[in-house]
Amino acid sequence: MERLEKEPVLEVKNLTARFGDNIVFEDVSFKVYKGEVLVIVGISGCGKSTLLRIMIGLQKPFSGQVLYQGTDIIHAREEDLNRYRQNIGVLFQSGALFSSMTIKENIALPLQEYTDLDPDAIENIIKMKLGMVNLAGYENHNPSELSGGMKKRAGIARAMALDPRVLFFDELSAGLDPVTAAELDDLIIKTNEALGTTMVIVTHELESIYKIAHRVLMLDKEAKGMIAEGKPLELKERATDPRVKSFFLRQLPDQHDEKRFYVS
């Protein structure tokens, strides 16, 4: 991948999350750059999903800011928050498709809520998005008729319905067989390269991390914050923190091509 412009799409500043007296993480700061695939990693309980939910605007932090085009979405007015939601797409681990609706009806929801497009235009967009995720012809299927991987791809199609600037994925490959998980990784790469869509992805799958990530942020449960940031192969080869080394030195397949994304 060519060197990408260092333009931040999102900026997280001094973010702290806590539940009562339990601090999940504190004073976390980083930027998400235009067109990059940023992967958030760490052991269970370190706050990865909590961080993602705060960045999406679904959860309030104890303190700190999440800035999108200069607007702090943590304290934004409802109209500004709705504008932000129109510029992001989200897919949680469950896929979150409504089982009582067809795939077409699921994808139509954000288009009906946030646009004034007529039914024919919505129909065309649905067909285009399903084609992008290799689900052409499945418009009238129910989620129960799809495999796990197909449900995830349908969820991606819905997340992309509004042509968002940023896509958020939480454990996209969870529960899938290795072949299906690899196909989703390929879809992420294709979407990022074809559309330049910025992506923030939470995952613990090391193979996926090496395959899709331009940059990695690592959270730690004991440190209650971020302990590493960088390109995955650099973290593997140069990290001195034993927690980082332990995470990245797990057994890997023989070949991995590191993506070239420069943020220094």
Residue 125 placed within a domain: no
Residue 114 placed within a domain: no
Question: Can you read off the two tokens belonging to residue 248?
Answer: 């990245």
Could you tell me if residue 45 is left (phi over 0), alpha (psi between -120 and 50 degrees) or otherwise beta?
left
Confidence bin at 252 (pLDDT 50/70/90): very low
**Residue 188 is part of a domain; what is its CATH number?**
3.40.50.300
Looking at 115-199, list the stretches that DSSP marks H as alpha helix, in order from N- to C-terminal side.
119-132, 148-159, 178-195
| Model pTM score | 0.88
Residue 147 placed within a domain: no
Convert the pLDDT of each residue in 30-59 to its tens digit: 999 999 999 999 988 899 999 999 999 999
Integer Cα distance of 155 and 151 in angstroms: 6
Is 80 exceeded by the pLDDT of residue 5? no
Convert the pLDDT of each residue in 253-262 to its tens digit: 444 444 434 3
The pLDDT assigned to 264 comes to: 31
Could you tell me if residue 172 is left (phi over 0), alpha (psi between -120 and 50 degrees) or otherwise beta?
alpha
Residue 118 placed within a domain: no
The pLDDT assigned to 249 comes to: 84
> Residue 206: which H helix or E strand, with range?
helix 206-212
Number of domains the chain is built from: 1
Residue ranges making up the domain that contains 39:
8-87+164-248
Integer Cα distance of 166 and 66 in angstroms: 14
Residue 1 placed within a domain: no
Can you tell me the mean pLDDT for 176-197? 92
